[in-house]
Structure 1
Amino acid sequence: MQIIAVVLAAGAALLHVYIWVLESFRWTEPATRRTFGVSEADAPVLAPMAYNQGFYNLFLAVITLVGLALMGSEHGTGTALALAGTGSMLAAALVLVTHDRSMLRAALTQGTLPALAVLFLLLQL
C-alpha cells in the first residue's frame, strides 16, 4: 500500500510542479493559453494572478514531496504532510469544478492523482 501511495503522491506533486511552470513562466505562450482557455489579449492582464497561483501549486508539491521524503524516518509526520499537500490539491480541484462545471476536465486532470494518493495514504496508516 505504501509504495502505491508514494508513487501516486509523487505523481500528483510532479503534475503540480508542471502546472507551476505553465502558470508562472509560460503563461503567455500560445500552447499554455490554449490549455487554460485564455485569449492573447487576456493573458497579460491575468499574468500576475497566474504567477501567484502557480506558486501555490509549487508549494503544495513541495509539502507533498517533503512528506514523502520523511515517511521513511518519521512515518506519521511524513504521512501528515503528504496528506496535507495532496488533500489540498484535491480540494482545489473540487473547488474548480463546483464553481464552474465546464472545468470538469481540468478538475479531473488536477484532482485524480491527488484523490488516489489521499485514498492510499489513508489506507497505509
Structure 2
Amino acid sequence: MTIVAVVLALLAALLHVYIWVLESFRWTEPATRATFRTSEADALATREMAYNQGFYNLFLAVITLVGLALLGADHEVGTALALAGTGSMLAAALVLVTRDRTMVRAAATQGTFPLLAVVFLLLQL
C-alpha cells in the first residue's frame, strides 16, 4: 500500500514541477498559451501572476517530495508532509473547477494524482 501511495504522490509532485515550468518560464510560449487557453495579450498581461503561481505549484511539489523522502526515517512526519502537499494540490484542483466549470479537464489533470495519493496515503496509516 505504501508503494502505491509513494508512486502516486511522486507523480503528483512531478506534474506540479512541470506546471511550475509552464507557468513560471514558458507562460508566453504558444504551446503553453494553448494549454492554458490564454491569448498572447492575456499571457503578457498575466506573466508576473503566472510566475508567482508557478512557484506555489513548485512549493507543493517540494513539500510532497520532502514527505516522501522522510517516510522511511519518520513515517508519521513523512506521511503528514506528503498529505499536506497532495491535499493542497487536490484542493487547488477543486477550487479551479468550482470557479469555472469549463476547467473540468484541467482540474482532473491537476487533481487526479493528488486525489489518489491522498486516498492511498490515508489507507497506509
1:86 aligns with 2:89: no
Taking the aligned partners of 1:111 and 1:41, their CA distance within structure 2 comes to: 28
1:7 partner letter: V
Amino acid at match of 1:112: T
Deviation readout 1:85-121 (Å, 9 max, x if unpaired) = 0000000000000010000000000000000000000
Distance in 2 (CA, whole Å) between partners of 1:71 and 1:46 is: 38
2: CA distance, partners of 1:62 / 1:41: 31
One-letter code of the match for 1:81? L
Counting aligned pairs with the same residue, the percent is: 81
Unpaired segments of 5 or more residues in structure 2?
none
| Pairwise CA RMSD | 0.3
With structure 1 as the length reference, what TM-score do the two structures score?
1.00
Residue 122 of structure 1 pairs with residue 122 of structure 2: yes
Q: Structure 2 counterpart of 1:95, which letter?
A: V
Unaligned runs of 5+ in 1: none
For these two proteins, the number of residue pairs brought into alignment is 125
Which consecutive aligned stretches of 4+ in structure 1 deviate over 3 angstroms post-superposition? Answer: none
1:70 maps to: 70
Q: Which residue of 1 aligns with 2:8?
A: 8
Q: Amino acid of the residue matched to residue 85 of structure 2?
A: G
Q: Could you tell me how far 1:42 is from its partner in structure 2?
A: 1.1
Q: Once the 2 structures are TM-superposed, how far is the Cα of residue 62 of structure 1 from its aligned partner?
A: 0.0
Amino acid at match of 1:76: E
